[in-house]
């Protein structure tokens, strides 16, 4: 089969995970080429920033129109390279990027313009303060294969509209999609040196981290993220790290079983479970545990698995054999330690090399890998709990903290529990779709990462904050300058009383004591 294709040394290939078809072969960018790309980006960035935010917004608007025109074509490319059903590619990738562009069009100008900083300190009233936001310069982006369009696009759009240049290193598994993103942005008016794509593997990513970039945005595994953080720390390179999740779903005793089970099945199996926001731990109140588990198993068994290019397919392949073996190992470990397979639990070799049946597990525990480590596959493990407090403890018993969900008919109860869960996002009566809310930040706590993408907080990550202060009385020496002395000390004690004493009388006496400070003699 074509999946046995071995790339030549120094090359990588894009392969359709459903069919094994080799889509394209690429030469790996060398360290020298990566460094040169960053140098070109530095040279091009000032002119891009100099265009002004309104012109950059116009470029993003043109990109949005081009993407909308080619929405189905782009979705098909994503499906061919990443495997997910075409409708998922359209909704979770293309639609997300279109809406992100809309958000930046509507909000970037107000966000990036100077903001007045009021001065409440009386001694500073002669000053005028401004808060300015300036681009970092060159943003390096290392993006993953599971969302090869929406993740790099949302981050790239934020960086570009803020006036940065971007050097993007996509996953070696999905280079074609990244190049298509770049082609759209180039056609929309982004200069080629302002946005560059460097193709390669882990060594290419290391080269980018060590190049003269001004900030790095990385999405990937915890292990790689930690290594990147250590390298970046050596030269104080600022980073945004989105490092995955082990997202819990809490089904309370008043939840609608039919709705919650359908939500669990979709959130666990969409993109074959290969999403950092996938439900990977499901905790269900003991009173609903059996009927809920049976409903999930029944619905999972109805899912149609196959090539995502077929519009009737619900679940596509895993990205490659390595990922499938990881899923198998987690399921087998759970079996050995007492978990019960309600449905699935097997390869679908009849469909191809990378297919795995949607799997529902019962009687799982936190001693199993399936409840501790990121599985990144089509598996839904379900565990019972007795009280809300126990559910929260189970949800928080994880090294990860990206997202979570609470399912209940009582919204106030759900939101109260959501506040107690350690995660960057908690949804009530839905899961995963928070990534499609362009106004909302995306990112986690604990081992799920550092910083945020999306929304205003994502834009904030793309700029340096500068405070600009101007004095309105340039011809006058400041009263706090040298020539201190005993008299000045008493005056300043009075001034502090004027500003902060609790009684009016003490404030008045302080005003009288400090009144002579403006005529103070002996200033240097």
Q: How confident is the model at residue 2 (pLDDT cuts 50, 70, 90)?
A: very low
Is the pLDDT assigned to residue 275 strictly greater than 80?
yes
pLDDT value of position 436? 96
Fold classification of 29-74+88-243+457-466 is Aldehyde Dehydrogenase; Chain A, domain 1 (3.40.605)
Q: Are 475 and 432 in contact (CB under 8 A)?
A: no
Is the pLDDT assigned to residue 229 strictly greater than 60?
yes
Flag the least confident range among 118-132, 204-218, 456-470.
Answer: 118-132
Task: Return d(Cα 204, Cα 131) in angstroms, integer.
Answer: 37
Helix (H, G, I), strand (E, B) or coil at 353: coil
pLDDT > 90 in the chain, percent:
93
In order, the DSSP letters of 359-422 are: EEEES--TTSGGGTS---SSEEEEEEESSHHHHHHHHHSSSEESEEEEE-S-HHHHHHHHTTS-
Is the pLDDT assigned to residue 476 strictly greater than 90?
no
CA R_g for the chain: 28
- What are φ and ψ of residue 115, in 5° steps? -125, 135
Average pLDDT of the chain to the nearest whole number: 96
Q: How confident is the model at residue 176 (pLDDT cuts 50, 70, 90)?
A: very high
User: In this structure, are strands 165-169 and 195-197 parallel, antiparallel, or unpaired?
Assistant: parallel
pLDDT in tens, 277-297: 999 999 999 999 999 999 999
Task: Return d(Cα 280, Cα 271) in angstroms, integer.
Answer: 13
Task: Return d(Cα 93, Cα 319) in angstroms, integer.
Answer: 16
Q: How confident is the model at residue 523 (pLDDT cuts 50, 70, 90)?
A: confident
Is the pLDDT assigned to residue 307 strictly greater than 50?
yes
Q: Which residue has the tokens 């081992």?
A: 447
Average pLDDT over residues 183-198: 98
pLDDT value of position 475? 86
For the chain, percent helix, then strand, then coil, each to nearest 5?
Answer: 45, 20, 35
Helix (H, G, I), strand (E, B) or coil at 20: coil
Q: In the annotation, is 242 catalytic?
A: yes
Q: How confident is the model at residue 97 (pLDDT cuts 50, 70, 90)?
A: very high
Q: In the annotation, is 276 catalytic?
A: yes
Q: Which residue has the tokens 């979570």?
A: 404
pLDDT in tens, 396-449: 999 999 999 999 999 999 999 999 999 999 999 999 999 999 999 999 999 999
Distance of CA 10 to the CA centre of its chain: 30
Q: Which residue has the tokens 């920033």?
A: 49
Q: How confident is the model at residue 5 (pLDDT cuts 50, 70, 90)?
A: very low
Q: Are 252 and 414 in contact (CB under 8 A)?
A: yes
Average pLDDT over residues 250-265: 98
**Inter-axis angle of helices 504-514 and 485-500, to 10 degrees?**
150
CA dihedral angle for residue 179, residue 181, residue 186, residue 192, rounded to 10 degrees: -50
Q: Which residue has the tokens 């009144």?
A: 515
pLDDT in tens, 23-50: 999 999 999 999 999 999 999 999 999 9
CA dihedral angle for residue 306, residue 310, residue 316, residue 318, rounded to 10 degrees: 90
* Structural domain spans, the chain: 29-74+88-243+457-466, 247-438, 477-519
Q: How confident is the model at residue 182 (pLDDT cuts 50, 70, 90)?
A: very high
Is the pLDDT assigned to residue 504 strictly greater than 80?
yes
Is the pLDDT assigned to residue 383 strictly greater than 70?
yes
pLDDT > 70 in the chain, percent:
98
Query: Token digits for 378?
Result: 């089509």
Is the pLDDT assigned to residue 3 strictly greater than 60?
no
Any residues with CB less than 8 A from the CB of 172 and at least 6 apart, and which?
A: 12, 199, 200, 201, 204
Any residues with CB less than 8 A from the CB of 318 and at least 6 apart, and which?
A: 17, 83, 272, 274, 324, 327, 354, 355, 356, 377, 378
Is the pLDDT assigned to residue 8 strictly greater than 80?
no
Domain 247-438 has CATH 3.40.80.10: no
Taking the CA atoms of 75, 77, 81 and 85 in sequence, report the sign of the dihedral they define: positive
pLDDT value of position 123? 85
Claim: this prediction has a pTM higher than 0.75: yes
Catalytic pick among 88, 172, 180, 276:
276
HSE-CB of 58 using CA atoms within 13 angstroms: 7
Q: Are 261 and 299 in contact (CB under 8 A)?
A: yes
Query: Token digits for 65?
Result: 């129109």
Cross-strand bridge partners of residue 463: 135
pLDDT value of position 77? 98
Is the pLDDT assigned to residue 359 strictly greater than 90?
yes
Is the pLDDT assigned to residue 66 strictly greater than 50?
yes
Catalytic pick among 242, 280, 363, 373:
242
Task: Return d(Cα 160, Cα 60) in angstroms, integer.
Answer: 9
Q: How confident is the model at residue 125 (pLDDT cuts 50, 70, 90)?
A: confident
pLDDT value of position 9? 56
Is the pLDDT assigned to residue 84 strictly greater than 60?
yes
């Amino acid at each position: 089969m074509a999946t046995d294709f071995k790339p030549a040394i120094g090359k990588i290939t894009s392969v359709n995970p459903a069919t094994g078809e080799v889509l394209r072969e690429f030469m790996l960018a060398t360290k020298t080429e990566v460094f040169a790309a960053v140098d070109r980006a530095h040279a091009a960035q000032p002119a891009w920033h100099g265009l002004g935010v309104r012109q950059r917004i116009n470029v993003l608007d043109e990109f949005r129109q081009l993407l909308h025109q080619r929405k189905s074509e782009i979705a098909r490319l994503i499906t061919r390279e990443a495997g997910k059903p075409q409708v998922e590619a359209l909704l979770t990738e293309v639609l997300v990027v279109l809406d992100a562009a809309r958000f930046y069009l509507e909000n970037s100008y107000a966000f990036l313009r100077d903001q007045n900083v009021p001065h409440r300190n009386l001694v500073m009233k002669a000053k005028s303060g401004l808060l300015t936001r300036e681009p970092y310069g060159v943003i390096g982006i290392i993006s993953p294969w599971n969302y090869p369009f929406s993740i790099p696009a949302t981050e790239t759009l934020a960086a570009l509209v803020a006036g940065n240049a971007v050097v993007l290193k996509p996953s070696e598994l999905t280079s074609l999609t990244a190049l298509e993103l770049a082609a759209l942005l180039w056609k929309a008016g982004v200069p080629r040196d302002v946005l560059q794509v460097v193709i390669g593997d882990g060594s290419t990513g290391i080269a980018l981290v060590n190049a003269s970039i001004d900030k790095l945005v990385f999405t990937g595994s915890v292990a790689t993220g930690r290594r990147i953080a250590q390298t970046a720390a050596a030269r104080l390179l600022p980073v945004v790290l989105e490092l995955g999740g082990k997202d819990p779903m809490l089904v309370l005793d008043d939840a609608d079983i039919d709705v919650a089970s359908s939500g669990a099945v979709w959130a666990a199996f969409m993109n074959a479970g290969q999403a950092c926001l996938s439900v990977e731990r499901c905790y269900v109140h003991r009173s609903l545990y059996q009927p809920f588990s049976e409903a999930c198993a029944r619905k999972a068994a109805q899912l149609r698995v196959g090539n995502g290019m077929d519009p009737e397919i619900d679940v596509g392949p895993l990205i490659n054999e390595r990922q499938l073996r990881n899923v198998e190992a987690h399921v087998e470990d759970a079996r050995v330690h007492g978990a019960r397979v309600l449905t699935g639990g097997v390869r679908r070799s009849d469909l191809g090399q990378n297919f795995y049946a949607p799997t529902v597990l019962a009687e799982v525990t936190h001693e199993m890998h399936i409840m501790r480590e990121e599985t990144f596959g089509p598996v839904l493990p379900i565990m019972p709990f007795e009280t809300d407090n126990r559910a929260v403890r189970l949800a928080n018993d994880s090294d990860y903290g990206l997202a979570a969900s609470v399912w209940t008919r009582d919204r106030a109860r759900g939101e109260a529990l959501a506040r107690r869960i350690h995660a960057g996002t908690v949804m009530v009566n839905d899961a995963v779709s928070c990534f499609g809310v362009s106004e909302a930040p995306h990112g986690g706590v604990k081992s799920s990462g550092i910083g945020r993408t999306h929304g205003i907080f994502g834009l904030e990550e793309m700029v340096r904050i500068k405070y600009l202060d101007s004095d309105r009385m340039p011809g006058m020496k400041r009263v706090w300058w040298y020539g201190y002395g005993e008299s000045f000390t008493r005056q300043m004690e009075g001034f502090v009383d004027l500003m902060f004493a609790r009684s009016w009388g003490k404030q008045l006496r302080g005003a009288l004591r400090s009144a002579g400070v403006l005529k103070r003699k002996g200033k240097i």
